[in-house]
């Protein structure tokens, strides 16, 4: 009994020592004189963590305007407030800002002072999701790497708004009010390094024009797209992840070999109107075709290589790389045809 009590006390002492040392280290990292300075310049509505002196947390404070931002701040959190406008004044000294989160506010285009954003020369990440924007704000900082504008009311993209954003790698416009007319042939001109483009949950009926050539991920779910132009993906030869779930694609709207592209590894066509599996490339690894109108599957017909040739070469040849196949929500009855398994020897999961 005595041994147990001593062991417990020793354990408690060690835990308290570690906790005390950890807390002390947080404050010891800053010189007391500097800490006093940081505290005095921290906006009273916000929180300035001593362990993270380059961050300013002003989220969930009921703010109606942006407070003056200290010069040392790199990361600014203003989400979940009632902010309606963005002006230059709060950012006069904040010349080192890298990250601004303004999600879930009430910002309108009219509330953004001209030049207020573009003057933030070092800004890399700008989050303006869940606001009241009706068009993409302009001008924007030329060094931006990520621009998130999801869940606004955007129906217009001003001409040339992206022309100088050569560093942008991710553009998120999902769940807005974009029509085909909003996406012109030069809309995305200048986005030479874009890797992810998300235009899901809009009102598109056609595939968007002139997607940047380096795009790796293209998300077009929840639109009303009916047709994919022939050779559409030749212009984006690096596209790897393609999502077209919840559209109105039928067999007639898909050219015979439009998805037979070696770069595509993940193809999602769930919740459309297909009655057969479109031709795929041997490099494809994930295929989602659930909730269409497919009645049967013929492995010999959909196999991207000849099964006879595959049997001759075995695993040393260019065998199909499909690992995941989803077919549930169709009219297909199990069991899985044997020729499917013969063709796609790397399959790890089939949902039917």
What is the per-residue pLDDT across 248-266, written as a single tens digit (0 to 9) for each? 999 999 999 999 999 999 9
Per-residue pLDDT, averaged over 105-127, amounts to 97
Residue 148 has pLDDT above 90, yes or no: yes
Return the residue matching tokens 């916000």.
46
Helical ranges in the chain per DSSP H: 2-28, 32-41, 299-302, 307-313, 338-343
pLDDT score at 261: 96
Least confident of 22-26, 78-82, 322-326, 328-332: 22-26
Ordered DSSP codes for 218-236: EE--SS---B--TTGGGGS
CA–CA distances in Å: residue 334 to residues 149, 297, 327, 337, 352: 43, 10, 11, 8, 7
Looking at the chain, the whole-number percentage of residues with pLDDT higher than 90 is 80
> What's the predicted TM-score (pTM) here?
0.86
Taking the CA atoms of residue 255, residue 257, residue 262 and residue 267 in that order, the dihedral angle to the nearest 10 degrees is 50
∠ CA 145-151-155 to the nearest 5 degrees? 90
Looking at the chain, the whole-number percentage of residues with pLDDT higher than 70 is 86
Work out the mean pLDDT of the chain and round it to a whole number.
Answer: 89
Say if CB 287 and CB 325 are below 8 A apart: yes
**Comparing 311 with 113, which gets the higher pLDDT?**
113
Tokens describing residue 230: 């022939």
300: confidence class by pLDDT, cuts 50, 70, 90: confident
pLDDT score at 307: 66
Per-residue pLDDT, averaged over 208-226, amounts to 97
Residue 325 has pLDDT above 90, yes or no: yes
Helical ranges in 255-321 per DSSP H: 299-302, 307-313
Each residue of 40-63: pLDDT tens digit?
689 999 999 999 999 999 999 999
Per-residue pLDDT, averaged over 174-184, amounts to 97
337: confidence class by pLDDT, cuts 50, 70, 90: confident
H/E stretch holding 55: strand 55-57
Contacts for 316 with CB less than 8 Å, ≥ 6 apart: none
Helical ranges in 120-162 per DSSP H: none
């Amino acid at each position: 009994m005595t041994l147990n009590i001593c062991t417990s006390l020793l354990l408690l002492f060690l835990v308290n020592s570690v906790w005390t040392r950890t807390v002390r280290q947080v404050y010891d990292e800053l010189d007391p004189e500097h800490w006093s300075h940081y505290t005095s310049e921290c906006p009273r509505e916000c929180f300035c963590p001593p362990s993270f002196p380059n961050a300013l947390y002003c989220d969930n404070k009921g703010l109606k305007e942006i407070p003056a931002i200290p010069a040392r701040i790199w990361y600014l959190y203003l989400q979940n407030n009632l902010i309606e406008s963005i002006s230059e004044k709060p950012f006069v000294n904040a010349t080192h800002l890298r990250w601004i989160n303004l999600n879930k506010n009430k910002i309108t285009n009219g509330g953004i002072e001209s030049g207020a954003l573009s003057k933030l020369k070092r800004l890399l990440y700008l989050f303006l999701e869940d606001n009241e924007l009706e068009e993409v704000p302009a001008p924007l900082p030329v060094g931006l790497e990520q621009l998130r504008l999801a869940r606004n009311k955007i129906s217009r993209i001003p001409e040339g708004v992206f022309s100088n954003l050569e560093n942008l790698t991710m553009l998120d416009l999902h769940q807005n009010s974009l029509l085909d007319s909003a996406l012109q042939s030069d809309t995305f001109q200048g986005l030479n390094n874009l890797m992810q483009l998300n235009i899901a949950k809009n009102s598109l009926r056609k595939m968007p024009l002139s997607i940047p050539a380096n795009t790796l991920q293209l998300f077009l779910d929840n639109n009303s797209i009916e047709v994919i132009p022939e050779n559409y993906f030749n212009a984006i030869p690096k596209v790897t992840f393609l999502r077209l779930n919840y559209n109105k694609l039928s067999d007639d709207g898909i050219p015979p070999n439009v998805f037979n592209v070696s770069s595509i590894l993940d193809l999602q066509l769930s919740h459309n109107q297909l009655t057969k599996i479109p031709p795929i490339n041997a490099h494809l690894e994930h295929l989602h075709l659930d909730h269409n109108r497919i009645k049967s599957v013929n492995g010999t017909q959909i196999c991207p290589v000849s099964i006879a040739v595959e049997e001759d070469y075995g695993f040393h040849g260019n065998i199909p790389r499909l690992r995941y196949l989803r077919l549930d929500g169709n009219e297909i009855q199990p069991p899985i045809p044997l020729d499917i398994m013969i063709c796609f020897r790397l399959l790890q999961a089939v949902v039917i």
